Amino acid sequence: MTFSKSSPSGRRVQLHRALSKLGWGSRTQAWEWIRAGEVCVDGQPVTDPLTWVDLDRQRITRADEVAPVVVLTTLALHKPRGVVTTRRDERGRPNVYDLLPPGLPWVFPAGRLDAESEGLLIFTNDADLSVRLTEPEHHTPKTYHATLTGDLTPEALEQLRGGVDLADGRTRPAQVRELRPGMKPCRLEIILTEGRNRQIRRMAVAVGCRVRRLVRVAVGRYELGDLPVGACRFLGKEDLLMLLNGCSAPDRAKATGEADG
């Protein structure tokens, strides 16, 4: 039996993404399993993670375990400060998975917040949704409230808006406004359309300030609102539309099941 290695027509995905969509693990884990020869398609071992498969017509197994039927699940968490986004931490710090409700299917964070940051964190088992929320080409806006120490001059404020030179390149222009003009400490609302590691903290240092507190308050137009710290909320169809605001219209339609075909 041979398997296609070129992009086919119809509703098919590459094998490593298929395993992720079916809720077995991350795409990185899936890649390793496939390379190790642990995955079969229609009873035949497949070792190329980029092989195209049909989720509706082909039988995918790993170590004789049939791929589960998974209900797509997306939820919002109000991440507390001091909690890490990774499942395992060598320093033994609490992690976000301890805060998720029991009985969930396998889900993963669509994007991260560093340990000292707080606010809205989206969990899902929908790999396509995660890509739309995290990949830079989709320009999904994320809104943060940042409390800064230091003297934020008008020139520094314009730098934050226009782009800051960091070690990994110049940042995209950002929407930045003062929440309490003229008051100390300075509080800013910052809207980014990219997600680099500790980006706002590094931007602040680049203009002579430091972040004292950082809270993500929205992804797209979906807001953290009054969700208590440490609590979760399941997202419905209308929530997904709010979440994806800022993506292209085809992205929003596909993610909410409204795409043609």
Whether residue 154 sits in one domain with residue 127: no
| Residue type at position 99 | L
State the Cα–Cα distance between residues 85 and 138, nearest whole angstrom.
23
Whether residue 127 sits in one domain with residue 246: yes
Residue 79 pLDDT? 98
State the Cα–Cα distance between residues 206 and 156, nearest whole angstrom.
9
State the Cα–Cα distance between residues 239 and 222, nearest whole angstrom.
7
Which residue range is the domain that position 24 belongs to?
13-66
Residue 37 within any structural domain of the chain? yes
Residue 163 pLDDT? 96
Residue 55 pLDDT? 73
State the Cα–Cα distance between residues 195 and 173, nearest whole angstrom.
13
Say which CATH number the domain at 187 has: 3.30.70.1560
Nearest to 73 by CA among 238, 241, 234: 234
Residue 128 pLDDT? 81
Whether residue 233 sits in one domain with residue 106: yes
Domain count, the chain: 3
164: which strand partners?
Answer: none
pLDDT per residue, tens digit, the chain (261 aa), is 344 444 444 347 889 888 877 777 778 888 999 999 999 998 899 999 999 998 767 888 887 777 666 688 999 999 999 999 987 788 889 999 999 999 888 788 999 999 999 999 999 988 788 888 988 888 899 999 999 999 999 999 999 999 999 999 999 999 999 999 989 999 999 999 998 999 999 999 999 999 999 999 999 999 999 999 999 999 999 999 999 875 544 444 444 444 333
Whether residue 49 sits in one domain with residue 82: no
Q: Distances from the Cα of 10 to the Cαs of 13, 15, 245, 249, in angstroms?
A: 9, 15, 27, 20
Whether residue 231 sits in one domain with residue 192: no
Residue 128 appears among annotated catalytic residues? no
User: Model pTM?
Assistant: 0.74
What residues contact 15, with CB distance under 8 A and at least 6 apart? 30, 34, 39, 41, 46, 48, 49, 50, 51, 52, 53, 60
Please check whether residue 52 is in contact with residue 7, taking contact to mean a CB–CB distance below 8 angstroms: yes
| Phi and psi at residue 33, to the nearest 5° | -65, -40
Residue 3 within any structural domain of the chain? no
Point out the catalytic residue in the list 42, 54, 114, 128.
114
Residue 4 within any structural domain of the chain? no
Q: Is 202 helix (H, G, I), strand (E, B) or coil?
A: helix
CB 194: neighbour CB atoms within 10 A?
A: 16
| Residue type at position 56 | D
Whether residue 107 sits in one domain with residue 231: yes
Residue 186 pLDDT? 96
| Phi and psi at residue 120, to the nearest 5° | -75, 120
Q: Which two tokens stand for residue 238?
A: 């209308």
Residue 86 pLDDT? 85
Residue 70 pLDDT? 67
Say which CATH number the domain at 89 has: 3.30.70.580
State which H helix or E strand residue 18 sits in: helix 15-21
Residue 211 within any structural domain of the chain? yes
| Phi and psi at residue 84, to the nearest 5° | -90, 155
Distance from the first to the final alpha carbon of the chain: 29
Q: 156-165 — which CB contacts under 8 Å span 24+ positions? A: 156/207, 156/208, 156/209, 159/206, 159/207, 160/188, 160/190, 160/203, 160/207, 164/202, 164/203, 164/206, 164/207, 165/206
